[in-house]
Amino acid sequence: MNKKINSFLAGILSFILMFFIWHKFLSSGNTIIFIMFFLISFLFFKRVIENEYKRKFIVTITIAIIFSVIEIICGSINTDYTLRHVLNKWSILDFFGYLVLIWSTISFIYSVNIKENNKRKECRNHKIYQLIFDSKDSFYINIILIVLSWMPYFLTYYPGILTADSCVQIGQVLGVEKLTNHHPIVHTGIISIFINFGKNIVGNINIGVSLYIIFQMIAMAVMFSEVLKYMNKKNVPYMVREICLLYYMFYPINALFSVIMWKDILFSGIVPVYIIFNIELLYNTEEFFENKKSIIKYISVSLLVMFLRNNGLYVVLLTLPLILISLRKYLKKVVIIIIAIIVLYLTIKSAIFNVFNVKKRLCRRTAFDTVTTNRKGEKKS
């Protein structure tokens, strides 16, 4: 493309981004800041377009479209639990805004990575860099880095953030609420360890809450570090691993969720580990079955997925038949693993329910149920 066309396209993209920011963040466009931002975005887009080529554009725009569609759909669902807002004029504007922003960012990062490749190779030979990404201690160092990066959130929200669900679980631990499996009983049991310690040993429940939060932060950091370790094992490009580590450390949602007492947090951490074990089982089957530790870990992780969230049971039950079909050659070994998982799950669950007299969960109406009911009850004009 010649310079005039590049400038024209950069101008159009800058206008789209300005409208997107104006609508999305409800910022007044009648300020000099918008003019400055337009000029900066114009220069940015111009540089991105100059470094664009067909193959890279196809890949980056495809990724951008996928994420933009997800943002629009989730935004509509978040508004009133429906898809009614997906095709309105503002959603279409937001779609193009997300598209431009995501595409240009990915394309720019890719271009910078290519140009700076030689410099990065020199950087990767540095001892500190190797210690973080390529040493035998990288797993533990990543855990420390992630936990330390989350500490400001822990100190800000000390002793931790409690959700309505976690308040009910604490009530069950203290005997104020009936003990049911509406919330995962294993997760409630984990909470009880720290709450009882705080109440009975230290004499302060807040200490128990803070200790649980610290445990959760470390547990999440361990699971995130496990993902980074696996990426290193598979020789994933350094840049991807760098971005992932920074994402785990500094993306606010990760840090904020790490200090919330909630069943979803630990479950969200164990799922990527479960995926990793399934990948290993499918693609390194011989090596996997020869290593008894791998089999034990797979069974343990599967049980954690099933116990840390009630619908985790369905995740595992839907996965196992697919594993069985894919590994028909190893039918006996796979069947043994499946039986072990199911038997252990039923045995542990039965033992917990009987020992602690756990009642079956009661159904609750969710916000989605309420909205659906209201919509069905609307009168047509």
Kindly report the backbone phi and psi dihedral angles of residue 353, in degrees, each rounded to the nearest multiple of 5, phi listed first: -65, -40
Selected residue with higher pLDDT from 19 and 326 = 326
Which bin fits 362, alpha (ψ -120 to 50), beta or left (φ > 0)?
Answer: beta
Mean predicted confidence (pLDDT) in 189-217: 96
Mean predicted confidence (pLDDT) in 359-370: 51
Output the CA–CA distances (angstroms, integers) from residue 76 to 303, 313, 366, 374, in the order listed: 34, 29, 18, 17
Q: What is the pLDDT of residue 45?
A: 86
Query: Taking 80 as the threshold, does the pLDDT of residue 67 lie above it?
Result: yes
Q: For the chain, what is the mean pLDDT?
A: 86
Query: What is the residue type of 83?
Result: L
Q: Where are the domains of the chain?
A: 3-115, 133-261, 267-363
Write the CB contacts of 117 (distance below 8 Å, at least 6 apart in sequence).
none
**Beta carbons of 345 and 184 less than 8 angstroms apart:** no
**Beta carbons of 93 and 19 less than 8 angstroms apart:** yes
Mean predicted confidence (pLDDT) in 168-193: 93
Query: Taking 90 as the threshold, does the pLDDT of residue 337 lie above it?
Result: yes
Q: What is the pLDDT of residue 378?
A: 43
**pTM to 2 decimal places:** 0.71
Q: In this prediction, what percent of the chain has a pLDDT beyond 90? A: 52
Q: How confident is the model at residue 242 (pLDDT cuts 50, 70, 90)?
A: confident
Q: How confident is the model at residue 376 (pLDDT cuts 50, 70, 90)?
A: very low
What does the alpha-carbon distance between residue 148 and residue 221 come to, in Å, rounded to a whole number? 10
Query: Taking 70 as the threshold, does the pLDDT of residue 113 lie above it?
Result: no
